Amino acid sequence: MDHFTASDGTRIAFRDSGAGRPLLCLSGLTRTVKDFDYLAPHLPGVRMICMDYRGRGGSEWSGKDTYKVPIEARDAMELLDHLELDRVPILGTSRGGIIGMVLAATVKDRMTGLCLNDIGPEIAEAGLKEIDLYVGRNPQARTHQEAAEAMAMNLTGFRNVPDSRWLQEAQIHFVGTGEGLEITYDPTLRDAFLEDYQSPSADLWPLFDALEGLPVALLRAENSNLLTPETTEEMRRRRPDMIYAEVPDRGHIPFLDEPASLGVIHAFLEATE
């Protein structure tokens, strides 16, 4: 992992791996650069630039008031500045897709396109309620194996997932300690989430519409509780050219190495060349 210092002095971790065309990869709310570990082997010739948002993974904790989409979007652009990259395609998983849409509305000239992983301009209440159940809380499981078994049992939107993948997921998202497992991010992220969750919903459709003129792709998990079929239908109506696939046997979020996911991502990268 490498680091750079953001304009407010926060130390931000990132991973710059591979060689070829750059692709900026933005992860989910509580996640890290490891969101893209499953995808990386399938992208030869791509330079994958992945960032730990402030307060997550290897990045410095900077307090709940800074765990906001506009600040995370600013950090992403400062990372590109640090790497001396002018324009890149963006792959945004969940929260990362929201950040990508914000960037389209504010600094569109820094992007060559956006691929959205199970996220859109409307976020379903069912998905937000599920996030509320776990964000900022350590798991009850005491070992990675116990956590993997709990995931396999509780994440009912996922089917045909081998036990080995659930164990990988547990090892990615939780750190083992002598007293059990801990989350890989600042627990006060929960406070930041609740502030947004309990505020009136913002209209994000203008952010999606700001992508006009850029290649856009969308992956929707077949059993997603965050991105509804109705929102997906409206996104496709507004952007009939959008590259799209539904990923079978997946809930929020697809792992990105499924055949349907890879097909969309490869087509998106071709469209942004």
Position 165 in a domain? no
Flag whether 182 is in a domain: no
Q: What mean pLDDT is predicted for residues 244-255?
A: 98
Domain assignment present for residue 171? The answer is: no
Please report, for the domain that includes residue 46, its CATH number: 3.40.50.1820
164 in any annotated domain: no
Q: How confident is the model at residue 46 (pLDDT cuts 50, 70, 90)?
A: very high
Q: Is residue 8 part of a domain?
A: yes
pLDDT digits (tens, 9 = 90+) for 178-187: 889 999 999 9
Q: How many separate domains does the chain show?
A: 1
| pLDDT value at residue 198 | 86
CA dist 127 and 78 (Å) reads: 30
Q: What are the backbone dihedrals phi and psi of residue 9, each rounded to the nearest 5 degrees, phi first? A: 95, 0
pLDDT digits (tens, 9 = 90+) for 100-149: 999 999 999 999 999 999 999 999 999 999 999 999 999 999 999 999 99
Cβ count within 10 A of residue 79: 20
User: Interior CA angle at 69 toward 201 and 13, to 5°?
Assistant: 155
Q: Is residue 92 part of a domain?
A: yes
Of the pLDDT bands very low, low, confident and very high (cuts 50, 70, 90), residue 268 is very high
pLDDT computed for residue 58 by the predictor: 97
In a domain, 135, yes or no: no
Residue 39 lies in domain: 2-124+203-271
The dihedral formed by the CA atoms of 245, 251, 256 and 259, expressed in degrees to the nearest 10: -50
Whether residue 62 is contained in a domain is answered as: yes
What's the pTM?
0.97
